[in-house]
Chain A
């Protein structure tokens, strides 16, 4: 038995079954006081279930032993968990968009069935104190939905701290942050850890995990793989432990300079967004565009697909000048765009996989009397499901039943069904785990080999580095320079971008 103050949390033999699915099978997690501990595993491996058990949202199955700061825990509820010093910052933050920053931070003391007056003054004062402790300043009266996502993240952390949390779970805190916002967040995490707060960090970004955590617990398919110190651990080794198969990461760049240009952009300009952009993408070539949010990368993509109109410059596709006025125009000439936010913008979650996959090509499915032909539809869907190796039950299942990686493939299928000449991928792996990422890039590579020109927009340098033939670096609305992955390193690229 360890001394009570050494461990913030000890969980042993935790199992949980939902219906027929064994979400967790005899998993253990131990977190030391003041430690940054990482919980790693692919989507659906049981990480979230584990967090929900610690915080009392779900009860564990019989046989689990849980103790918090040395005290064994029998019954559990969110209120009890909070009282014993545990707080969670959920991936979707679980904040209240129409309430003020101060109220979001202090909300937890309003919770309870016993009526009492809401003392907003004291909440405000304490929220201010927490802000000072974090070294940040936010307008406490601002409504939460007016803040950018990075500041909401800070609000969520402040909310955990106001209840004197000594063990904080952070579920994918960096998933929607840019690199500089992530760095700021990691600094806050280090400060907290130095003050004796234990932090359990869940992230898909392995570089981040190895950077911030002292130890990592790996979970795969609801089972415990092991606990490892991050010292001497490499990203590829960690990826292997998480997926159970080895992930190769080698530069895949090829020399495509002799390929005929599919996309030829000259002098493209749109005020306050991007300026004098010129580049080409050849047949079968993968061109990476890296840059921070605000560098103009997404705005450039929007101009190429007709969501906004450039003020100067020309876009040529297969030697014909085009000026798309809408996404429909862009699809017609052969440009497909997979958006940054696939979950909300790319798919209709409640509809079936088949319906989602064909939505952009409905006009091609028309049969007798101009109605949608069921056989044409199912042929097309089956074809793409096979070509993209989407793991599904049946194509009639709702998209929301699929994992992140498989959803991404359905989005790809939807756009590939339009038979594009140019495919624009905007941050295609946001929120997708390592195993699925590798799968997606394998598909991207195959598509390139079939002759589709691919523009890969990303703010993860490694992603662009390993998967592009050429890399363009955008900053301040301009293309700053071009790199050949073979002649550079990830570190050199990162230095360029974050300098």
Chain B
């Protein structure tokens, strides 16, 4: 862990700030550090985190995806229609459907980017509009409330009753999120495919000359992002109990900001799953803290925007924080801080 943090100074810095934030909120409010608050934080951010690790893979490979949130809406809508027409299905069919649809939409992005050699931001802005436009056209903007029972039924993976009798629980979405995090971590950190993704994002021409299959890299990156979009969409329905076509519109930018905040580099080659967790939780806890401190909700966006701005603009300043670990480990080599 120490080696990981000294090699990833953005993650290190953000975890220090996050710890300070948590400590501050724990001391200044008596509601922050409670089981009820922590479980609700996790429940409310599981879907964002699933999307965040999907987007991370695309960023690591040097691309960007603006379309994943509306892609998730498309998946929700098509899956709801499809599952309704086959008599409801079950969780297994639901996962299968959402995954396939998500991967399919991701592969559309990958194919367009690779075939026409257009930068991913342009392609995914186009597909963002196309996906959303098609969805609004076919749904006429109408929400779907009649969904299979299994899909909207709450499944708790953890329950706890406090001394005062308040129940707090963790949703299925948190478990799914954990699986997605571990799977993404495994993919990008421990497989040759993942290391090729980093290399491709770091130096595309160098990767090409080394014989990396570029089309495959685009397909894996955007396919994975689509897969996460689909699974995230599925879980979001489980929480919201309805399919609202424009409910996820705009979420892509929140997720993107959180992932970049967590140290993923726009331009590729850098970014970690741990950083995604930090980025998403940082934004979530800031918002949660403002809530608990009784700050006007109208000021939230402004304060969070300013916080992200400060965090990202200071992340390029070089504070020599690798020294933090020198005391703990006198024989340890000085980390590379950059």
Listed in ascending order, the chain A residues whose CB lies under 8 Å from chain B are: 55-57, 77-79, 82, 88, 90, 92-100, 103, 107-113, 115-118, 139, 141-143, 145-146
Contact = CB atoms under 8 A, between A and B. Distances in A.
Given A90-B209, A118-B192, A146-B336, A110 B199 contact: yes
Contact of B191 (A57, A94, A117): A117
B336 A110 contact: no
A409 to B, nearest CB: 27
B209 A107 contact: no
B213 interface: yes
Contact of B333 (A56, A94, A139): A139
Nearest to B209: A94
Contacts of B232: none
Interface stretch (B68-76, B167-175, B200-208): B200-208
Contacts of A117: 190-192
A100 B4 CA distance: 12
Given A79-B211, A99-B202, A108-B211, 10 more contacts: A55-B209, A94-B209, A94-B210, A98-B270, A100-B7, A112-B211, A113-B216, A139-B333, A141-B7, A145-B338
B100 interface: no
A96 B194 contact: no
Nearest to B269: A98
B176 interface: no
B114 interface: no
Nearest to B213: A113
Nearest to B192: A110
A145 B199 CA distance: 13
14 contacts: A55-B209, A57-B209, A94-B206, A96-B207, A97-B269, A99-B195, A99-B199, A99-B269, A100-B7, A108-B211, A111-B196, A112-B211, A117-B190, A118-B190
A201 to B, nearest CB: 19
Contacts of A98: 198, 202, 265, 269-270
Contact of A115 (B193, B211, B213): B193
Contacts of B208: 57
A74 B251 CA distance: 52
A78 B211 contact: yes
In this complex, the member of A92, A95, A96, A145 whose beta carbon has the largest number of chain B beta carbons within 10 angstroms is A96
A96 B211 contact: no
A141 B3 contact: yes
Interface of B: 3, 7, 189-196, 198-199, 202-203, 205-213, 216, 265, 269-270, 333, 336, 338
A143 B336 contact: yes
A264 B208 CA distance: 52
Contacts of A116: 191-192
Contacts of A100: 7
Q: Which 10 A-B pairs have the closest CB atoms?
A: A78-B211, A94-B206, A98-B269, A110-B192, A96-B202, A79-B211, A110-B195, A96-B199, A98-B270, A111-B211
Contacts of B210: 78, 94, 107-108, 111
A470 B190 CA distance: 60
B203 A94 contact: yes
B206 to A, nearest CB: 4
Contacts of B198: 96, 98-99
B338 A143 contact: yes
A143 B209 CA distance: 21
B191 A118 contact: yes
Nearest to A112: B192
A332 to B, nearest CB: 32
B193 to A, nearest CB: 5
A107 B195 contact: yes
Contacts of B7: 100, 141, 143
Nearest to B265: A98
B35 to A, nearest CB: 38
A407 B202 CA distance: 28
A56 B211 CA distance: 9
A110 B196 contact: yes
A115 B213 CA distance: 12
Nearest to A142: B336
Given A96-B198, A145-B338, A77 B203 contact: no
Between A78, A98, A116, the greatest number of chain B beta carbons within 10 A of the residue's beta carbon is seen for: A98
Contacts of A94: 203, 205-206, 209-210
